[in-house]
Each structure stands twice: as structure tokens, then as C-alpha cells.
């Protein structure tokens, strides 16, 4: 075991504090990564605050990891020392079940191992990227193209793939009318990716305070959901609505914004249940679905797509000592648009 510095929550809802965690010795198929940057995803906050149920503490979050390979196991073929790599929400899966064979390791029938708070194959509990180093199976690290700076690339490992995957699955392209609900970490990536795919993009945000940024990032239109006229004027306007909101939304109001055959895709995962009257679906052949990150191959595809289109996250780099303050700002929707921890300060 190697001991590395990290920031972890000592118990539910407690502020994160500096601590030391253990990383396993390098196995033949493992790589050791020197972490350069780790993004702060709202899921980190939901998790350590117990929004999604009890966790095992201390818990170091972080599943938007970018860094360089520091060492490789004897059997490693995909990565070399010095390579720029990223790790997202997944660090292992069986590799043999129908989901893994389809490239959807997040749905591994035998249990995907998530980057933190998950039981690893050796029985230990995984610890995330708010730390100096991480050891992962080589197949769960993706290559970060040279065109992407590591700090702006880190958030792509979750916010990027979580928005790219459903947009691709929904065949979004030229002619698609896409609305992105919530201009936060996921939302601002969704806007850029939908625009790069050729869609007509509308942002639906609580206020117009981030309108200039939304337009600069590729939105064609921008409306405030606090204005009741938005839901009247935009009725029947969209083919796809990507809901990235971390809190409960009024499903009926948003389903009303879909055109016939339109789809509301939820990636935001609030603790609350959302009520649904099926009449909101039946009147217009509408559908509602969820989407959970994306597989490893698609994560690589997304990084290559972002590099090709010059897309990165808009970030505020912070020292680790400011993690708790950053959490408060994310909860207040005061993030523009992703906090990224400089891992050298851990
Ligand atoms: P974030 O940066 O906090 O963005 C969420 C945005 O939602 C906010 O910026 C805000 O946008 C809007 N919002 C927040 N509270 C709201 C409220 N009470 N009413 C209406 N709008 C509100 O969070 P994130 O990191 O993008 O994550 C968003 C959600 O996706 C979280 O629930 C997270 O756990 C989930 N997530 C899911 C997956 C997946 O695989 N499905 C992956 C990653 C994250 P405006 O200020 O523009 O209104
Ligand atoms: Zn995330």
C-alpha cells in the first residue's frame, strides 16, 4: 500500500478535511497516475451529504481526474509513463457481461466499480480523485488529447461524457432543437456539445444572469424559467430536452415544451422523487428517460470530439483548502462553470 494525501469527508455532511488514504500496490495491469487536477461534480456533494443514501466514511470524492502516468505494471500495453490520462466515474467492471461487451461498463451486470465509495474487486472501498495519486486498471484510464489542457479536460471525464452520451443516443445533429435545462457544470458542457453536433440550442436557466456566457458557448436562445411566459411561449418547441438540474423539476411543465415525439432526458439526480402524470407523455407521443455517464470507449470518443471542436470546460481552479467554500457556491448555483482542484495543493 502507498499512502497519499487526500481531502475526504470524515462523516456524512461534514466539511472535507485533509487526510491520508491508501492506494494499492501496482498490479500487472495497473497504472499509477500523478493527479494534476480534479473537478468538483455536484454528485460529489450529493454523495458526501448523504442525498443518495448512507456512505462509508471517510470518503474522498472526485471522479473528474486528469493527470500523467507515473508508473505502469508489467503487463500494461495501453499507456506509458508520461502519458496524459483521465479517469472518470468508473474504475473497474467484469469485462465479460452483456453490458461490458456493449461498451456500457457503468451497467456491468456483475457490478461496476465506481471511482469512490464503491467496493473494489479486492474488497476495499474506492477513494476518489481529491488526492495526489490514484492506481487504476489500465483499461479505465483514457487518453487526453494534446489539444486539451489538463485542467479544462478534467471536467469532461464526468460532465462531458454525461451530456455527450445522451445527445449522441438521441441522434442530435443539424436540424435538432435541443434545450439544456440548468447552466451549471453539466449544462455548460451540454450547450457546447449540442452546438458542436449542429443542433439549435436553447438554454433554460433560472434567471438570465448567465445569458452572455450561454450565447458565447454556442446557445442560440436563452430563457429564464422563473418567467412563466417561457413555458407558454416555448410550448411544443423542442425535440430533446436535457435536464441537468440537481433539484426537483416540474416534469409536466417541461414535457409541455416538447414537440410531438420529443424526449426529456434526465441526467440531474435530485434526492426528491419527481411526480409524473402519464397524460403529459401520451398527449404527443413523448418520452422521458434517464442517462448514466457513458462507457469507456465513448468517453474516449467524447474527448477526441472535444479536442477536434476546441471544447473544454469553463473552469475556476482552486487550491484544496477552498473545497468546502466551493461546495457552498455550487449549492447556491454560483459556479462558472466548474471548480477544478489543483492537486498540487493537496
Ligand atoms: P451544478 O453545476 O450545480 O449545475 C446544476 C444547475 O442546476 C445549476 O447551475 C442551476 O442552473 C440548476 N439548479 C440548481 N438548483 C436548482 C433549483 N432548485 N431549481 C432549478 N434549477 C436549479 O451541478 P452538475 O455538476 O452540473 O450536476 C447536475 C446534476 O447532475 C446533479 O444532480 C448531479 O448529481 C447529476 N449528475 C448526473 C450524472 C449522470 O450520469 N446522470 C453525472 C454527473 C452529474 P441555473 O443557475 O442555470 O438555473
Ligand atoms: Zn460527476
In this predicted model, what pLDDT tens digit does every residue of 130-180 receive, in sequence order? 999 999 999 999 999 999 999 999 999 999 999 999 999 999 999 999 999
pLDDT of residue 248: 97
Instruction: Flag whether the pTM goes above 0.75.
Output: yes
Please tell me the distance from the alpha carbon of residue 199 to that of residue 49, in angstroms, as a whole number. 36
Q: Is 232 exposed, middle or buried (0-12, 13-18, 19+ CB in 10 A)?
A: exposed
**Confidence bin at 195 (pLDDT 50/70/90):** very high
The best mutation among 46, 112, 129, 244 to test binding of ligand 1, ranked by most ligand atoms within 8 Å of the C-beta, falls on 244
Domains of the chain and CATH, by start: 2-158+294-300+314-345 (3.90.180.10), 160-290 (3.40.50.720)
CB 117 within 8 A of CB 126: yes
Distance 41 CA to ligand 2 centre (A): 4
Ligand 1 binding site (Cβ under 6 Å of any ligand atom): 41-43, 46, 158-159, 162, 182-187, 205-206, 244-247, 267-270, 291-293, 330, 333, 335
pLDDT tens per residue across span 14-53: 999 999 999 999 999 999 999 999 999 999 999 999 999 9
Distance 39 CA to ligand 2 centre (A): 8
Instruction: Please check the confidence at residue 114 and state whether its pLDDT lies above 90.
Output: yes
Average pLDDT, the chain: 98
pLDDT of residue 256: 98
The DSSP annotation for 72-139 comes to E-TT--S--TT-EEEE-SEEE--SSSHHHHTT-GGG-TTT-EESSSSB-TTSPBP--SSBSEEEEEGG
Cis before 98? omega within 30: no
CB 189 within 8 A of CB 183: no
Q: Is 46 exposed, middle or buried (0-12, 13-18, 19+ CB in 10 A)?
A: middle
Please tell me the distance from the alpha carbon of residue 172 to that of residue 158, in angstroms, as a whole number. 20
pLDDT tens per residue across span 62-107: 999 999 999 999 999 999 999 999 999 999 999 999 999 999 999 9
The best mutation among 155, 163, 164, 184 to test binding of ligand 1, ranked by most ligand atoms within 8 Å of the C-beta, falls on 184
Burial readout 158-189 (b: 16 or more C-beta within 10 A, e: otherwise) = bbbbbbbbbbbebebeeebbbbbbbbbbbbbb
Mean pLDDT of 230-245: 98
The best mutation among 104, 155, 186, 202 to test binding of ligand 1, ranked by most ligand atoms within 8 Å of the C-beta, falls on 186
Which ligand places an atom closest to the C-alpha of 181? 1
pLDDT of residue 1: 86
Mean pLDDT of 242-266: 98
Distance 165 CA to ligand 2 centre (A): 14
Cis before 114? omega within 30: no
pLDDT of residue 291: 98
Amino acid at each position: 500500500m502507498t499512502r497519499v494525501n487526500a481531502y475526504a469527508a470524515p462523516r456524512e455532511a461534514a466539511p472535507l478535511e485533509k487526510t491520508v488514504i491508501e492506494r494499492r500496490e501496482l498490479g500487472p495491469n495497473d497504472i499509477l497516475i500523478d493527479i494534476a487536477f480534479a473537478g468538483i461534480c455536484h454528485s460529489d456533494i450529493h454523495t458526501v451529504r448523504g442525498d443518495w443514501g448512507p456512505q462509508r466514511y471517510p470518503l474522498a470524492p472526485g471522479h473528474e481526474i486528469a493527470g500523467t502516468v507515473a508508473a505502469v505494471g508489467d503487463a500494461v500495453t495501453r499507456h506509458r509513463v508520461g502519458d496524459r490520462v483521465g479517469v472518470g466515474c468508473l474504475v473497474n467492471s467484469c469485462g465479460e457481461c452483456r453490458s461490458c461487451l456493449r461498451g456500457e461498463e457503468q451497467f456491468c451486470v456483475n457490478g461496476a466499480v465506481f471511482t469512490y465509495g464503491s467496493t473494489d474487486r479486492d474488497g476495499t472501498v474506492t477513494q476518489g480523485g481529491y488526492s495526489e495519486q490514484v492506481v487504476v486498471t489500465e483499461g479505465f484510464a483514457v487518453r487526453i488529447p494534446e489539444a486539451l489542457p489538463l485542467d479544462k479536460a478534467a471536467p469532461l471525464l464526468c460532465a462531458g461524457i454525461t451530456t455527450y452520451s445522451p445527445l449522441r443516443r438521441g441522434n442530435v445533429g443539424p436540424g435538432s432543437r435541443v434545450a439544456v435545462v440548468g447552466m451549471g457544470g453539466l449544462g455548460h458542457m451540454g450547450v457546447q456539445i449540442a452546438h458542436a453536433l449542429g443542433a439549435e440550442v436553447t438554454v433554460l436557466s433560472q434567471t438570465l444572469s448567465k445569458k452572455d456566457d450561454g450565447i458565447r458557448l454556442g446557445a442560440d436562445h436563452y430563457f429564464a424559467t422563473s418567467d412563466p411566459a417561457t413555458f407558454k411561449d416555448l410550448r411544443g418547441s423542442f425535440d430533446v430536452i436535457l435536464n441537468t438540474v440537481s433539484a426537483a423539476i416540474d416534469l409536466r411543465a417541461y414535457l409541455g415544451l416538447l414537440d410531438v415525439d420529443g424526449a426529456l432526458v434526465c441526467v440531474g439526480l435530485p434526492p426528491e422523487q419527481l411526480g409524473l402524470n402519464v397524460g403529459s407523455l401520451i398527449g404527443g407521443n413523448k418520452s422521458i428517460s434517464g442517462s448514466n455517464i457513458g462507457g469507456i470507449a465513448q468517453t474516449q470518443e467524447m474527448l477526441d470530439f472535444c479536442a477536434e471542436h476546441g471544447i473544454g470546460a469553463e473552469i475556476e481552479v482552486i487550491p484544496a483548502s477552498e473545497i468546502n467554500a466551493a461546495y457552498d457556491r455550487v449549492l447556491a448555483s454560483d459556479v462558472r462553470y466548474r471548480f477544478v482542484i489543483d492537486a498540487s495543493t493537496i
